[in-house]
Amino acid sequence: MNKLNAKIPDGPLPDKWTTHKTKLRLVNPANRRKLDIIVVGTGLAGSSAASTLGELGYNVKVFCYQDSPRRAHSVAAQGGINAAKNYKNDNDSIYRLFYDMIKGGDFRAREANVYRAAEVSNLVIDHYTALGVPFARDYGGLIENRSFGGVQVSRTFYAKGQTGQQCLIGAYSALSRQIDKGTVTMYPRREMMDLVVIDGKARGIIVRNLITGEIERHSAHAVVLATGGYGTIYYLSTLALNSNGSAAWRAYKRGALFANPSFVQIHPTSIPVLNDHQCKLTLMSESLRNDGRVWVPKTKGDPRKPNEIPEEERDYYLERRYPAFGNLVPRDVASRAAKERCDAGYGVGPTGLSVYLDFRDAIQKKGRKYIEDNYGNLFEMYEKITGESPYEVPMRIYPAGHYTMGGLWVNYNLMTTIPGLYAIGEANFSDHGANRLGASSLMQTSGDGYFILPYTIADYLADEIKTPKIPTNTPEFDAAEKEVKDRIERLMSINGTETATSFHKRLGKIMWDYCGMVRNKEGLEKALTLLDELKEEFWKNLKVPDTANELNQELEKANRVADFLELGKLMVYDALNRRESCGAHFREESQTKNGEAKRDDENYSYVAAWEYAGDGKEPILHKEELKFEYVKLQERSYK
Amino acid sequence: MTVKLKIWRQKDSSSKGKFEVYELDNVAPDMSFLEMLDSLNQRLVKEGKSPVAFDHDCREGICGSCGIYINGRPHGNDHRTTTCELRMRGFKDGETITIEPWRAAAFPVVKDLVVDRSAFDKIIQAGGYISVNAGAAQDANAIPVPKHNADVAFDTASCIGCGACVAACKNASAMLFVAAKITHLAQFPQGRVEAPERVKRMVAKMDELGFGSCTNTRACEAECPKGISISTIAKLNREYLTAKLKD
């Protein structure tokens, strides 16, 4: 039986969403307030969905692990948010935005979803602007746009290097308004521990109150997961330290399919690892590549300081390999090229694991003032961390785990394979294919929450208007709560000698080495064994201090790492299965003579959606064929 | 390097707290302040002791989760820096570092260095928004906003809600926090519509939640990691008076 019906509407691509909307059923206002919806997560996806559903009159409950919804990690997005406004009159359009995303994703995303994301992008910008998000403006008072992420038009809306923060504050204010009105109830410092499924439908969640340790039951007619990505599986990543994959993983174990888990974006411009104690990698915005030139010395292990190395002894390898796009090649290409140079022994810095991003020429040409105006805050941030001024010496950068294109499989209505369970934003897999273009995540996540989910969820809830409030004293809630409590009890009682952080570091290294920027069969198979061994050791030798009935941050970590140990294996299975290179997924066995990614459209033009088959069993693969009716598949070349 | 840490330990909001002293060696100058605490915690866990609880998340100075009183200053000694951005190279070998939670009646201690800042959320819920439903907005360029106003809006909306302003103030006043939001939303034509109601409600909520009054010492401005100017408080006062006069 094929479980995957993507429910993509018929008709011409530009009309699909319009036509589909007319067919989606509605719920009348009087019925909406009788319907409960749970939203987990308060980033741009969760906040936007929750406030919009609240505005529509549903009874919404929102959960986040942070102390305030305003702290979700959307806050850290720097560069911008795309929209097809064509304010620059550079012949941009919804179609072009759609096309760039499809191509950027290396033809591994659904045409219909991507087109829709581009279509609603303009509404998103209008809404944020109305909420008071201070996008950059010109002296005429109108909104400025910039070019971003290697596209030929200027369609990126931005607020200096803090676009995510400014948008999230806007979304948070709209959410706060609904909390004030009483349509939304906020539950901060709660972590989702499990999903409750009753008669095949998502009906609630079990959460842990992170302050008291109490396990709580919450029910609803539908559940929306807006829980972000799982990039912290690498331990060192650009994500917030507490970001995790547990909510999605719990949903997977309750029957939701997980799609393309191995598609992880490794961002090329992060500050490199400085020491063993390091817990996170700080991103330097991609926009820096507009003016910075990436290079390494032509001589291996050149001991000279960067400024002492003359021009002819520098290898500007991106400009050399990709003359057309140069330093502006997409993220996956730039990351692999950096790794290639460092692996070949040309890397710089104490570890040899970094490359230069040099502003010398831009400062000479455009002046220091220009650089300050455009990148001042990033330069400051870099100097705070490394103690070096990028005005004087080149920055050192290296790729870091960043964004997960993979996520819970959803159909066109953003519903997972569990009826009544939705996944939006980074938590789903749908719009970025095998690689995400810069400034398209804020766009997609906000579009999902403001203008897509609120329409599609009504179609499901139209059947629920006669369902009374879901009681939480059912056997399903009892069982789920017991499982959660048993697991916590197990974690607490191991009483070994190694901390959750230590296991997380070891897990991160396995994933980075074998399922990171470059993968091959041998390495991936080795990773499967290593992950099994690590999991076994974890459950034998973990040490969690204190008790479960209090604020216990070590227990929180342990819970997340326990899930990551399993999710890591799914990523490896997925990477093993896909014996082609596409986007961020690079299989060494599948490359061109010049070392570029080689796609295999004949055999792998599908979404790999995995079904949980039980503990210790190999997951079951379901394929959703990708049909391209409007774009012609071509080699993604940036030469 | 080696540091001596004098840390406030408090089991929960109802227990009495006290300082405990820990010595930590192998501290690298490149480490962030919180990585230094991470390394202390790893050691404490291995020794079977209770690690020090502190709030943190993004570790890049933007989420506003972290906030520790370090040697008597919120977020430590560096200018315009959050606790997570602080680096150990700013401390001396052998130095004793005093580490405390935010101290303010409106921010009760939850555990160790973790405090409850939900009062900030409640203030925003009392009008810190522009009332527009999704779908109701006009084209983003329909209302031009002078660049100057957009820049002021940006600067004030860069508040991360960390609470350093309150912690720095001898009266534990939330004026800078409220003023930043009032000033931010006042820059837009559509933000003016609710301005009088907004300022009255937010100020009333701030008072109700137990924050103190402003006596213009400018400690908040000095400690704000995002450099929000005290001139916003003048703006807040002006907005408040205008609104009250219309009553």
CB < 8 Å to A173, chain B: 124, 128-130
Q: What is the dihedral of CA B226, B229, B230, B231, to 10 degrees?
A: -150
CB < 8 Å to A166, chain B: 154, 157-158
Residue stretches of chain A with pLDDT short of 70: 1-2, 150
Sign of the alpha-carbon torsion through A345, A348, A354, A355: negative
Does A348 contact B at CB distance below 8 Å?
no
Inter-chain touch B121–A68, beta carbons under 8 Å: yes
Nearest CA in chain B to A449: B134
The tens place of each residue's pLDDT in chain B, 247 residues long, gives: 999 999 999 999 999 999 999 999 999 998 999 999 999 999 999 999 999 999 999 999 999 999 999 999 999 999 999 999 999 999 999 999 999 999 999 999 999 999 999 999 999 999 999 999 999 999 999 999 999 999 999 999 999 999 999 999 999 999 999 999 999 999 999 999 999 999 999 999 999 999 999 999 999 999 999 999 999 999 999 999 999 998 8
Nearest CA in chain B to A454: B134
Inter-chain touch B62–A162, beta carbons under 8 Å: yes
Nearest residue, CB atoms, A545 vs list B28, B45, B89: B45
Tell me how far apart the alpha carbons of residues A607 and A433 are, in angstroms, rounded to a whole number. Answer: 9
Inter-chain touch A278–B49, beta carbons under 8 Å: no
How close B122 gets to chain A, by Cα (Å)? 8
Nearest residue, CB atoms, A545 vs list B48, B63, B129: B48
Nearest residue, CB atoms, B42 vs list A136, A384, A499: A499
Would you say A261 and A406 are in contact if contact means Cβ atoms under 8 Å apart? Answer: yes
Nearest residue, CB atoms, B81 vs list A128, A176, A384: A384
- Domains parsed from chain B with CATH numbers: 3-110 (3.10.20.30), 117-245 (1.10.1060.10)
Residues of A catalogued as catalytic: 331
What is the rounded radius of gyration, in angstroms, for the C-alpha atoms of chain A? Answer: 24
Tokens of B58: 């993004």
Tokens of A298: 């032509």
Inter-chain touch B124–A172, beta carbons under 8 Å: yes
Inter-chain touch A277–B38, beta carbons under 8 Å: yes
Would you say A37 and A224 are in contact if contact means Cβ atoms under 8 Å apart? Answer: yes
Q: Residue A184's beta-bridge partner residues?
A: A60
Tell me how far apart the alpha carbons of residues A176 and A169 are, in angstroms, rounded to a whole number. Answer: 10
What residue type is assigned to position A429 of the chain?
Answer: F
Nearest residue, CB atoms, A55 vs list B59, B125, B134: B134
- The residue behind tokens 């034509």 is B189
Please write the tens of the pLDDT for every residue from A56-108. Answer: 999 999 999 999 999 999 999 988 999 999 999 999 999 999 999 999 999 99
Cβ within 8 Å of B, A 178-197: 179-180, 186, 188
Q: What is the pLDDT of residue A1?
A: 44
Inter-chain touch A551–B62, beta carbons under 8 Å: no
Nearest CA in chain A to B150: A134
CB < 8 Å to B65, chain A: 66-67, 71
Q: What is the pLDDT of residue A2?
A: 57
CB < 8 Å to A176, chain B: 121, 124-125, 128-129
Nearest CA in chain B to A273: B30
How close A543 gets to chain B, by Cα (Å)? 7
CA distances B70 to A376, B43, B91, B170, Å, are: 27, 21, 11, 16
CB pairs under 8 A between A and B: 224
- Domains parsed from chain A with CATH numbers: 267-402 (3.90.700.10), 475-603 (1.20.58.100)
Inter-chain touch B121–A176, beta carbons under 8 Å: yes
ipTM of the complex, rounded to two decimals? 0.98
Nearest alpha carbon to residue A347 among A299, A290, A283: A299
Instruction: Give residue A315's region: left, alpha or beta (phi > 0; psi -120 to 50).
Output: beta
How close B15 gets to chain A, by Cα (Å)? 13
Would you say A475 and A529 are in contact if contact means Cβ atoms under 8 Å apart? Answer: no
Inter-chain touch B39–A277, beta carbons under 8 Å: yes
Cβ within 8 Å of B, A 11-40: none
Q: What is the pLDDT of residue A308?
A: 96
> Alpha carbon A13 to chain centroid distance?
26
How close A70 gets to chain B, by Cα (Å)? 8
Q: Mutate which of B121, B155, B162, B226 to test chain A, going by most A C-beta atoms within 10 A? A: B121
Inter-chain touch A134–B35, beta carbons under 8 Å: no
